[in-house]
Chains A and B, each alone.
Chain A
Amino acid sequence: MNPIGLSALLLEGLVLALMFTVFVADLFLPAAKNRLGEIVAAGLAVIFACAFLFSPRTGSAFGDTFVCDGLALFFKVLFILTAILITLMARAFLKKSPKNPGEFYLLILSALLGMLFLASANDFILLFVSVELVTVSFYVMTAYLKTDQRSVEAGIKYLILGALSSGMMLYGISFIYGHTGSTQFDAVRGVLSGFETAPPLLLFGILLLMAGLGFKVGAVPFQFWIPDVYEGAPLPVTAFLSVGSKMAGFAALLRICISVIAPFEKKWSVLIAALAAMTLVYGNLGAIPQKNIKRFLGYSSIGHAGYLLTAIAAGGLSGARGVLFYLLSYAVTLLAVFLVVVFCSLHFETDDMSAYDGLSQRSPILAGSLFLALLSLAGVPPLSGFFAKFLVLSSAVEKGLVWLALLGAVNVVISLYYYLVLIKRMYIHPPVSRDSIQLPLSFRVPLYFLMLAMIGIGVVQNPFVHLATSAVSKFF
């Protein structure tokens, strides 16, 4: 045990330094002001490399309230990767509406910082603080287009509902603290495993905590904000919300479920299974009638939360492994989707799905990568999404949740339907105009990378399964 253990905080420190650099550059260096996007992207790329090269050895800091273990690192790498691609999207977006780009990049970085801390949080206080850091950054980013009514509305909606959920979470934490006398995860777990029967108020606390986290991940019945906020927010923010924020929520939920409240697994797994079932059905049915691509992706992201909750409800090593693999595939795939969508929305200046008509003849690369990404989301081999769903359903069957696995299977068909509707627009419908679309290198290269990743993860699953397994094996 290491009381300060700053070496474990390497990545967080680097992000903080990058924030400082951006801040200074934005204020005092007019020459760098126009190149902020490149600076942030390059800085994040360096941090991404550091995450592999000087792999910050597993350790803990601040008296074990912060741990940097395999699980945390797994998420951190994904968060940084997400932030890099979001920066690229933001760069394209800010070229069109250049209002205080420095602020926007700083908010992305502060949200990233919050996510990095969240992945490592081993204490309810740190957990709460980092969740707040993430969400407060998002409140501002969502309402970033101050003159756009929908953006402001989305920001306020998100703020009110977010504050409510934070309140619930904090209230829940206070019950847990009251029963266990600690906020540190290992200590809480120690006390919990001593209980023979769970005290009702403690369960109530856990319920509130779940509700708070359920809001962050967009689980039914806490999903109401998602379509509206996704629609109103600027697109890069929508992307960051649906990839980064959702992953962060699951990072916290997973760690709490497999480490802190694992002794009461029988109690909460029923609850999560019920949430999972509702989330699956709601998200997938809700996506069918959508005409706006952002709302469409919002509902589909609810559906995916359903699969992730299924894996959490299944629990055990295979469930946890399923969650990690699913999130890996989800991040890679959804980032590809958003790269295409951000580019198309900026190009077409509309979010309506009819703009995608005949895309395959105007830009084979845009249509092709969206085609692959949507099929991966639907869970079609040989793409990564298939194996992710395979692991999730397998863990549900292992746990005996065959009904949930069947429901998940049926939802694969439903989701395939609405993804195919978009694919139909791109490939079968006649194009809206004949002019071809040129894709800049800053979109082309990441798209190639992500397509390769989707196929690579989907075909050569072994190293990634191994990675996911070793990240969570210490908890079982």
Chain B
Amino acid sequence: MIAFLVIIPLASALVILLMPENQSEGIRRVTLFSCLATLLLSLFIFLSYSVNRSGIQFEINRPWVEALGIRYHAGVDGISAVMILLHGLVSFSGAMVSRSIKERVKEYSIFFLILVASIFGVFTSLDLFFLYFFYEMAVIPMYPLIGVWGSKNKEYATMKLTLFITGGAVLALVGILAIYQASGLQSFDLSVLQSHFAANPLARPVQQWVAALLIFGFGVIASLWPTHSWSPIGYAAAPSAVSMLHAGVLKKLGPYLIIRLALGLVPDGARFWMPVVAVLCVMNILYAGYCAMVQKDLKFIIGFSSVSHMGYVLLGLACLNQTGVSGAVLLMFSHGVMAALAFALIGFIYDQTHTRMVDELGGGLGSKIPFISVCFVMTAMASSGLPGFSNFIAEIMIFFGAWKKFPLPTLAAVFGILITAIYLLRVVKEVFFGKEKETWPSLRDAEHFTQKTPFVLLLAALLIFGFFPSLLVRKIDAGVKRMAEKNPSVFEVMP
């Protein structure tokens, strides 16, 4: 069943390939239904993932390339169950928002669905080969998606984004191959390797350079400072749905793969690098935060803000204890939903005004488009970590986890929250409140049901999991605990 998460979008892409180009409405409908189907499926998987029998559920394990020991091993644990739900939500909202794409709809939908399928592929694979396979497959559709349908400086931005992420990926690939060869098991299976390395850990120097390749290779897509520079410019250029998927989900592949591979397979090597990561995270939080404060383009503000937030996620990983890692995964979810919502809202405004500049938009949008404004203010509140949103719980968990290990970076990170509040409140004040400008007479609020759905869906996710975080935390905790139980040298499991 889990394979359908990958098969449905790919099959829909194939159907669209065979459809005539002028049937834009039909193509949109196929895309939307395909994303709806995967959303429902991921919701089902999330809900029926049982914490009581922790471990991998919905498992498939088939031989793929026998000579090398590659298997199609898929399934979900607590961590990936949550990430699948995130991707289901964001990709469906993305497909709804994609209705604003008017040109070359056929090509757009095909690339979009390949992207959706590959990300599901990463979150469900439990075989190193397929993890990498889908990961790399997700990077490439980005290039045409941003290059063709993007805006502002798109050619430069998309090239930079693609090359940076691929660069990180291939370095990590060498790390993966080193793990494969060093184990001598002729197996890419994550659980097999994990159990093997728990009993016979690799030599420390090997672990260290392999962990470096993995952490800094996948760190690129997590926009770890100083390899973050592709990120704001890429999001600014991308069409809304792509920014949503990228900032919301694709970026989370970085920390996800670091947890799976670096923490899971070479824990001693990871421990060696984590102080470095913690310092770089602080750079992420503060530097990107300061950058966000002076930006004039809304998408750049949210872009830098997402770089800054990824700093918290990575800080949670860096502290290598259960609270921190669980908090990081929770923030991956919360920030994913939040970032997707923010980009969707900005896209909505941009489609009508064709500007994203704070000063050009002027003030008083709140009275003109109240629904969108309310959504944006809620998003800003979530982003600055106000209680009531799951971001708050996640950040608290990260700070608790990190305080013991890295007191100084944690202090700096807490200060980062203030910065977040400053730049978001500035946007809220200058764009949505204040004196109304007469510049946008034709600006219309989201009225139709199809226009409102994506915003409502994402906002609901933020609020539901903000008030009932245990729905997520219990599953995440089970996943994190299982990893630590398999290889206790990652960190001690808390009772």
Binds B, one of A53-61, A83-91, A102-110, A410-418: A410-418
The reply to whether B171 and A394 contact each other, CB–CB distance below 8 Å, is: no
CB within 8 A of B166: which of A390, A402, A412?
Answer: A412
Q: Which residues of B contact A394 (CB under 8 A)?
A: 68, 177, 180-181
A420 beta carbon closer than 8 Å to chain B: yes
User: What 0/1 pattern do residues 372 to 406 of A give for CB contact below 8 A with B?
Assistant: 00010000111000100011011001100010011
- B167 adjacent to chain A (CB < 8 Å): yes
Q: Judging by beta carbons under 8 Å apart, are A397 and B174 in contact?
A: yes
**In the complex, what residues of B have CB within 8 A of residue A380's CB?**
136-137, 140
Q: Which of B161-209 contact A (CB under 8 A)?
A: 162-163, 166-167, 170-171, 173-174, 177-178, 180-181
- Taking a contact as CB atoms under 8 Å apart, the answer to whether A424 and B107 are in contact is no
The closest CB in chain B to the CB of A394 belongs to: B177
Which of A381, A412, A424 sits near B170, CB closer than 8 Å?
A: A412
Partner-binding segment picked from B35-43, B59-67, B457-465: B59-67
Closest to B178 in A: A397
| A409 on the B face (CB < 8 A) | yes
Contact of A402 among B64, B162, B173, B178 (CB under 8 A): B178
Mark out the residues of chain A between 319 and 350 whose CB falls within 8 Å of any chain B CB in the assembled complex: 321
Name the B residues within 8 Å of A420 (CB-CB). 143, 159, 162-163
User: Given A380-B140, A423-B144, A428-B148, does the pair A405, B65 have CB atoms closer than 8 Å?
Assistant: no
Decide yes or no whether B147 CB sits under 8 A from chain A. yes
| Contact in complex: A393, B174 (CB < 8 Å) | yes
* A393 in contact with B177 given A382-B137, A420-B143, A423-B143 (CB within 8 Å): yes
Q: Kindly list chain B residues whose C-beta atoms are within 8 Å of the C-beta of A35.
A: none
Q: Which 8 A-B pairs have the closest CB atoms?
A: A409-B170, A397-B177, A413-B167, A428-B147, A381-B137, A381-B133, A398-B181, A462-B65
Q: A397-B180, A428-B148, A462-B63 are in contact. List 17 more A-B contacts (CB 8 A).
A: A380-B136, A393-B174, A394-B68, A397-B174, A397-B177, A397-B178, A398-B181, A409-B174, A413-B163, A413-B166, A417-B159, A417-B163, A424-B159, A462-B65, A465-B67, A466-B67, A469-B67
B155 contacts A by Cβ under 8 Å: yes
A409-440 CB contacts (< 8 Å) to partner B = 409-410, 412-413, 416-417, 420, 423-424, 427-428
Does A360 belong to the interface (CB within 8 Å)? yes
- A interface, CB within 8 angstroms of B: 321, 360, 375, 380-382, 386, 390-391, 393-394, 397-398, 402, 405-406, 409-410, 412-413, 416-417, 420, 423-424, 427-428, 461-462, 465-466, 469
Q: Chain B residues near A409 (CB, 8 Å)?
A: 170-171, 173-174
For residue A381, give the distance in angstroms from its CB to the closest CB of chain B.
Answer: 5
Q: Taking chain B's interface residues, is the majority helix, strand, or loop, or is none over half, making it mixed?
A: helix
Chain A residues contacting B144 (CB-CB under 8 Å) are 423, 427-428
Residue B133 contacts which of A382, A416, A423 (CB distance < 8 angstroms)?
A382
Residue on B with the closest CB to A473?
A: B67
- Asked if B177 contacts A405 (CB within 8 A), the reply is yes
| Distance, CA A413 to CA B178, complexed state (A) | 19
CB distance from B7 to the nearest CB of A (A): 12
Q: Which residue of B lies closest to A426 (CB)?
A: B144
Complexed CA–CA distance, A35 and B162 (Å):
47
Which chain B positions have C-beta within 8 A of A413? 163, 166-167, 170
**A428 and B146 alpha carbons, distance in the complex (Å):** 10
20 sample A-B contacts, Cβ–Cβ < 8 Å, listed by A number: A393-B174, A393-B177, A394-B68, A397-B181, A409-B171, A410-B167, A412-B166, A413-B163, A413-B170, A420-B143, A420-B162, A420-B163, A423-B143, A423-B144, A424-B159, A427-B144, A428-B154, A428-B155, A461-B70, A466-B66
A390 to B133, CA, bound (A): 10
* Docked pose: A465 CA to B64 CA in angstroms: 11
CB pair A462 B66 closer than 8 Å? yes
A420, B148: Cα distance in complex, Å: 13
Smallest beta-carbon distance B441→chain A, Å: 32
A448 to B173, CA, bound (A): 31
Do B162 and A461 touch (CB < 8 A)? no
Main secondary structure of the interface of A (DSSP, over half): helix
Q: Looking across the interface, which residue of chain A has its beta carbon closest to that of B17?
A: A368
Given A397-B177, A402-B178, A427-B147, is A465 in contact with B133 using a C-beta cutoff of 8 Å?
Answer: no
Q: Which B residues lie within 8 Å of A410 (CB)?
A: 167, 170
B residues 130-162 in Cβ contact with A at 8 Å = 133-134, 136-137, 140, 143-144, 147-148, 154-155, 159, 162
Interface residues of B in 339-377 (CB under 8 A from A): none
CB neighbours (8 Å) of B181 from chain A are: 394, 397-398
When distances are taken between beta carbons in the complex, the residues of chain A under 8 Å from B154 are: 428
Instruction: Compute how far the CA of A397 lies from the CA of B136 in the bound complex, rounded to whole angstroms.
Output: 20
**Shortest Cβ distance from B431 into chain A, in angstroms?**
31
Are A402 and B137 in contact, CB atoms less than 8 angstroms apart?
A: no
B-side contacts of A465, CB under 8 Å? 65, 67-68
Q: Which residues of B contact A397 (CB under 8 A)?
A: 174, 177-178, 180-181
CA separation between A356 and B283, bound complex, in Å? Answer: 43
> Contact: B133 with A386, CB < 8 Å?
yes
- Cβ distance B69 to chain A, nearest Cβ, rounded Å: 11
CB distance from A394 to the nearest CB of B (A): 5
In Å, the complex CA distance between A222 and B179 comes to 36
Please give the distance in Å from B188's CB to the nearest CB on chain A: 10
Bound complex: CA A405 to CA B172 (Å): 11
A416 touches B162 (CB 8 A): yes
Q: How far is the CA of A393 from the CA of B180 in the complex (A)?
A: 12
Q: How far is the CB of B342 from chain A (nearest CB, A)?
A: 27
Q: Which residues of A lie under 8 Å from residue B173 when comparing CB positions?
A: 390, 393, 409
> A398 — which chain B residues lie within 8 A by C-beta?
181
| Chain A nearest Cβ from B103, distance in angstroms | 10
Q: Point out the residues of chain A lying under 8 angstroms from B137, CB to CB.
A: 380-382
Which residues of B sit under 8 angstroms from A424, Cβ to Cβ?
Answer: 147, 155, 159
In whole angstroms, what is the CA distance A381 to B133 when docked?
6
CB-CB under 8 A from A428, the residues of chain B are: 144, 147-148, 154-155
- Flag if A375 contacts B148 (CB, 8 Å): no
Shortest CB distance A474–B (Å): 15
A391 to B180, CA, bound (A): 12
Whole-angstrom distance between the Cβ of A42 and the nearest chain B Cβ = 31
The distance from the CB of A470 to the nearest CB of chain B, in whole angstroms, is 10
B187 to chain A, nearest CB (A): 13
B428 to chain A, nearest CB (A): 35
Expressed in whole angstroms, the Cα–Cα distance for A402 and B70 within the complex equals 21
Distance in angstroms between the alpha carbons of A331 and B225 in the assembled complex: 41
Which residue of the partner chain A has the closest CB to B10?
Answer: A382
Q: Given A381-B136, A416-B163, A423-B143 in contact, is the A406-B148 Cβ separation under 8 Å?
A: no
Contacts of B148 in A (CB 8 A): 427-428
Bound state CA distance, A464 and B260, in angstroms? 30
Q: In the complex, what distance in Å separates the CA atom of A321 from the CA atom of B66?
A: 14
Contacts of B66 in A (CB 8 A): 462, 466
With the chains together, A382 CA to B138 CA distance in Å?
10
Encoded as 1 (CB less than 8 Å from any A CB) or 0, chain B from 54 to 85 comes to 00000000011111101000000000000000
Q: Which residue of A lies closest to B179 (CB)?
A: A397
A400: nearest chain-B partner, CB-CB: B181
- Nearest residue (CB) in B for A371 is B144
Q: Is A461 in contact with B65, judged by CB distance below 8 angstroms?
A: yes
Give A415 to B137 CA distance when docked, in angstroms. 16
A393 to B68, CA, bound (A): 13
Minimum CB–CB distance from B149 to chain A (whole Å) comes to 10
Q: A427-B148, A428-B147, A428-B148 are in contact. Are A405 and B159 (CB under 8 A)?
A: no
Name the B residues within 8 Å of A469 (CB-CB).
67
Q: Are A462 and B174 in contact (CB under 8 A)?
A: no
Q: Which residue on chain B has the smallest CB distance to residue A421? A: B159
* Closest Cβ–Cβ distance, residue A215 to chain B (whole Å): 30
Would you give the shortest CB distance from B139 to chain A, in whole angstroms? Answer: 8
* Closest chain A CB from B474 CB (angstroms): 35
Q: Taking each of A391, A405, A409, A462, which has the highest tally of chain B beta carbons within 10 Å of its own beta carbon?
A: A409
Contacts of B63 in A (CB 8 A): 462
